[in-house]
Structure 1
């Protein structure tokens, strides 16, 4: 069975607001079903961003919830209109997985990202040669278009240098800066890229040294996304050899936030981390 395409940020935003408006109107989903003729299960799926509602359904709900302000109604209907957009990723789909496309759309609109990277440099900090070497190795097991995937990774990095850049905090295991990817020349350039990135005001880069022993970060790669709009709930993106996923349940977000904070306790300071990366780069000279 094919998996459901993840919702866009605008569809999630609309779903959250429709649920809030229903609660503010002191109505249960069953009450809405009775008063609108909609199926209760449909209302549930709309409020969970599982289905994109039709325009007339949204206007019916807004009428029921007493939303009369024309500007507010226009905003909500605009969210509906844009619900299928995945930001700039539309130029790369449908070749890329739905979950990944959705994640990159969310990433583009995030205000803050917190990443744990136990095995490889985070995509937002990869050089083109490093990304290509990494993806080429993966393509031996999971066939994909290496050049297209590399282009996506490089394009994604613009969020770190745009006029209002995302705040990015990445915690890497020391193995990431010691493992040679693409040969010494490629790896040295990658390490120099990390040193440069660590100098950006919006980037915090920290290393968990080998001396810290085993830690929770070894369990897999994940990224926590926070958004500037209070309507947009935080997300967690996870990556493993078994696949990728997007999580938005409060319990999942809280669990990963705890894991991130625990790993932080084992990481070196940004200054000491930068020194360690510089030492690793010199060792490849």
Structure 2
């Protein structure tokens, strides 16, 4: 087995590095098989590097840059630095064996995002969940999970929320179906605490919260929840994440990103204004 690369959940920088290396190989007119034959790097490893599934060690990256004729020292230094910066979040490492790969990938992208547009039909968005609500949701959704697995997922969900408190906080625009307010997750006490947390979160200038009322009828979000995220560097294209019983999916094609961005605009239009949405949430909290 080629040990020149280490498997890790993709990060934004690793995704960018993979795209750069694909482009350089294409510009050099080489197939993966040809590169493998001429450098000794395993074809499967090249595939994993070019699809952001592994981070190349420095010697592997240098060998590829040599093969692709990258002689400009500034360009070489830029790509080596990009690889070095592509390491996964340190706090995630203890959970690596417990969390699904796709979820790890999502967390890595979310941590580097500039903004997140999140639609949820049945749950409060993970970035806004209280610990008690998160525990109740995870326990209900994963009935076969052990106590330690549940605790690990709760810990990770809480730690993800640090992105909303950093110096330049993540900008979150969340649209919820009213159903998420009426599903009494964890019992009335837990749900009341969660709704009060939503009200506090919405007071932050980087958080916008809207609710689609039942009377809005059918709307484009009914097939399922999704996230559209963008990143600070224009070199990193927007990304869509969808979550369903069939599995998690990342969409990167421009057409897919545009489609989900347009769907989110329709959901914003169908929802109550942020002020009216907070009135709805407050009224529901008083009922509990």
Q: When the two structures are superposed, what TM-score results if normalisation uses the length of structure 2?
A: 0.85
1:218 positional shift: 1.4
1:193 and 1:203 map into 2 onto residues whose CA distance is: 12
Distance 1:41 1:205, change over 3 A: same
1:51 and 1:147 map into 2 onto residues whose CA distance is: 28
The answer on whether the counterparts of 1:195 and 1:278 sit within 8 Å (CA) in structure 2 is yes
2:140 and 2:242 map into 1 onto residues whose CA distance is: 20
Distance 1:119 1:141, change over 3 A: farther
Q: Summarize deviations over 1:264-283 as a string: whole Å, max 9, x none.
A: 22111111111111111111
The answer on whether the counterparts of 1:11 and 1:79 sit within 8 Å (CA) in structure 2 is yes
Q: When the two structures are superposed, what TM-score results if normalisation uses the length of structure 1?
A: 0.86
1:53 positional shift: 4.1
1:221 positional shift: 1.3
How many residues end up aligned between the 2 structures?
278
1:36 positional shift: 8.6
Specify the alignment match of 2:279 in structure 1: 275
Specify the alignment match of 2:163 in structure 1: 159
Distance 1:29 1:209, change over 3 A: farther
Distance 1:75 1:177, change over 3 A: same
1:244 positional shift: 1.9
Specify the alignment match of 2:236 in structure 1: 232
User: 3-state DSSP class of the match of 1:216?
Assistant: coil
Specify the alignment match of 1:212 in structure 2: 216
Among residues 192, 203, 216, which one is paired with 1:199 in the alignment?
203
Among residues 97, 113, 117, which one is paired with 2:120 in the alignment?
117
The answer on whether the counterparts of 1:6 and 1:98 sit within 8 Å (CA) in structure 2 is yes
Q: Which ranges of structure 1 fall in alignment gaps of 5 or more residues? A: none
1:31 and 1:141 map into 2 onto residues whose CA distance is: 42
Distance 1:57 1:147, change over 3 A: closer
User: 3-state DSSP class of the match of 2:127?
Assistant: helix
2:37 and 2:56 map into 1 onto residues whose CA distance is: 14
Distance 1:119 1:188, change over 3 A: same
Distance 1:20 1:87, change over 3 A: farther
1:147 maps onto 2:151 in alignment: yes
Specify the alignment match of 1:91 in structure 2: 94
1:250 positional shift: 2.6
1:186 maps onto 2:201 in alignment: no
Distance 1:69 1:195, change over 3 A: same
1:73 maps onto 2:76 in alignment: yes
Among residues 244, 253, 260, which one is paired with 1:256 in the alignment?
260
1:58 positional shift: 2.6
